[in-house]
Amino acid sequence: MNIILSIIIPSAAGVLIYLLPSKFNKTKNVLFLAAAALNFLIAVVFYGKIICICDASAYLVNLFFRNYELNSFMAVFLAAVTLITSIYAVAFMKQNKKTQVFYGSMLLALSCVNGVLFSDNFIFFLFFWEALMIPMFLMIASGENKPVPTAIKAFTISAVADLCLMFGVMLVCVAGDSFSISKGICELKAVVPGTYGLFTTTAFIMLFIGAAAKLGAMPFHSWIPEASAKAPVAFMVFMVTAVEKILGIYLLIRITNDFFIIEQSSFISVSAMTFGIITALVANALAMVQTDFKKMLSYASIGQAGFMIVAVSTMSVIGTVAALIHMHAHVIYKSGLFFVSGNIEKAEGSTDMNVIKGGLRKSMPYTFVAFLLSGAAFAGVPFFYAFYSKEMIYESALSVHWIFYAGLLICSLIAIITIINWGARLFFNGQNNSAFEDKEASTWMFIPTIIFALACALLGLFHQVPLKIISVVLNLNLPETHSNVLTVILILISLILFILAVLNFIKAYKKKTDYLGYALPAAKFLKIDKLNLNENLDPYNIFISFIKRLSKVLFVADKALNYFYDLVIPAGIGEMARSTRKAHNGNMSVYLLWVLIGIVCIFIIF
């Protein structure tokens, strides 16, 4: 058989889980884990095999499936993350009807992502891309404390964004005059040698919006923090960190490398980078002022999405590789941190700062170790995986313009401060007197957390290995003229950055207040903390209220038209009828008069 299995098996299992009555809970869990494991197996077995399942339906719309290096690498990576998350999910979530729905829709989502990664035909690429929406809706809806409004919000946002993507895909199909992605690519390159006619720019913008929305960039982000509070942790790991980022980066790489050829610092790439940098700055600032650990993590992941957009839109070889590696690193340490937050939530019941009493160092030692490792990677501490990808992003950003590099530096500084602040508050606070009560997470929940934490450390140490794999996967060879003077300077700057953050922490530690140190007054000055609380700054609400006002105006216009049909015309005719009736008043002389007029007219005609 071939790669199509990776779509059929998870979806079949998902549907089965939906349909089986709830008394088979145990078997459902086993089925769920088995499906994830099998999917991982398939992805590994079929890694890199160029399989082309051609024309399953021998008509104009043929169902191609190509298995590129990049696709299979992403598929294997996703399969691994899903396997680990499924183990965590089974351990973490209590058995009720909602979790069954969650498992089923997770598997469906998995098959849709596989479908996107392996489909070589634009129609099916879109089909699986948009098919993701329903499982996403169900997954959020299976959370607690009234998740359905957030689910609807997520559904609407991704539906609207996918329509832009659909429009972009249509423009590309028409330009390439074929539906197939691979064939389309080579022709499209020839057709569009960097010329920026209206056609191509709209195509690029639309595709870019679709990818950015999937990544969770700024205007489309507002459902992610809400989902983090309401949806289960496994959703946040699987969907928000893994799937969204993978699909987003996959499409971005396809756009920048395959569909369009855009010079390095042309207008389009610069505007894309500014879009990315703004997202990163705003998201990181918001992350800093969050009071809920999971909300902070979701804003941080939006920030990292900004990082990746900046890296990709430098349109340079190093930028693309950096983005892919950073995506890889980000998924690993962010999942680790989310698992840590899951453990804390399991133990303390909530991850909100003023609810937890802190000082978990003693009661949850292992989770603390995992937090340390993943947190270090998050902060970009040298010899951890994320450090190298961040360096490459800095380099690519610098190659375009120093302002981007400065922006990224500020983001990293804020990130380091936030993670240190949360680390201190959660684990070092010390007021928690019930320190010795062992609330450590159960073994099955703990294993996934520690896997990711160790992965950050190990991949950091042997960072040559992932670099080699990824450059082979992208078959772009890194420019060997890698001037080490530049790298040394970059490393020095990030070290200074790190020291600055620590100093700020120490100063804040003395005052024993909030551990943000200098950052807090700066945040208050910029009124950032007010920013995320009031509702009406949320782009989704602004968009909906604009549509509502516009529709009200049109509704009144339609009513006026209706009024015209209902009342104006009948009244007019009624008036005419009344006048003719009055003329016919029944006395004979009038009738004779008419007869005379009639005769006169006839004579005139004759």
Q: What residues line the site for another protein (CB under 8 A)?
A: 56-61, 123, 126-128, 130-131, 133-134, 148, 152, 155-156, 159-160, 163-164, 166-167, 170-171, 173-174, 199, 202, 544, 547-548, 550-552, 554-555, 557-558, 561-562, 565-566, 573-574, 576-578, 580-581, 584, 586, 588, 590-592, 594-595, 597-599, 601-603, 605-606
Nearer to another protein, 11 or 228 (CB): 11
Beta bridge partners of residue 292, listed in sequence order? 352
CA 17 from centre of chain: 26
Would you say 111 and 14 are in contact if contact means Cβ atoms under 8 Å apart?
yes
On whether the CB atoms of residues 343 and 324 are closer than 8 A, the answer is no
Q: With respect to another protein, which residue has the nearer C-beta, 11 or 374?
A: 11
Distance between CA atoms of 258 and 10, rounded to whole angstroms? 29
Q: Hey, which residues does 65 pair with through a beta bridge?
A: 119
Q: Which two tokens stand for residue 479?
A: 């420019």
Phi-psi region of 561 (alpha: psi -120 to 50; beta: other; left: phi over 0): alpha
Return the number of the residue (214 or 330) whose C-beta is nearest another protein.
Answer: 214
- Taking each helix axis from N to C terminus, what angle separates 69-92 and 464-473, rounded to the nearest 10 degrees? 130
Q: Which two tokens mark 219?
A: 């205007």
Q: Cβ closer to another protein: 525 or 606?
A: 606
C-beta of residue 6 within 8 angstroms of C-beta of residue 75 = yes
CA 363 to chain centre: 34
Which of 176/380 has CB closer to another protein? 176
Nearest 5 degrees, angle CA 389-CA 333-CA 74?
70
- Residue with smaller CB distance to another protein, 438 or 566: 566
CA 267-268-273 angle, to 5 degrees, is 100
In 193-266, which residue ranges form alpha helices assigned H by DSSP?
Answer: 198-215, 223-230, 233-235, 245-253
Q: How far is the CB of 590 from another protein (least distance, A)?
A: 7
- Minimum gap (Å) between residue 550 Cβ and another protein: 6
Minimum separation from the CB atom of position 134 to another protein (A) = 7
Considering the complex, what minimum distance in angstroms separates the CB of residue 599 from another protein?
A: 5
Contact 299, 284 (CB under 8 A): yes
Q: Provide the minimum distance between the beta carbon of 237 and another protein in the complex, in angstroms, as a whole number.
A: 24
First to last CA, the chain: 94
Contact 136, 239 (CB under 8 A): yes
* Minimum CB–partner distance for residue 552 and another protein (Å): 6
Positive or negative: CA dihedral 334, 110, 105, 32: negative
DSSP letter, residue 291: S
Nearer to another protein, 403 or 577 (CB): 577
Q: Which is nearer to another protein, 383 or 594 (CB)?
A: 594
CB of 234 to another protein, least distance (A): 23
CB of 181 to another protein, least distance (A): 15
Q: Which is nearer to another protein, 365 or 572 (CB)?
A: 572
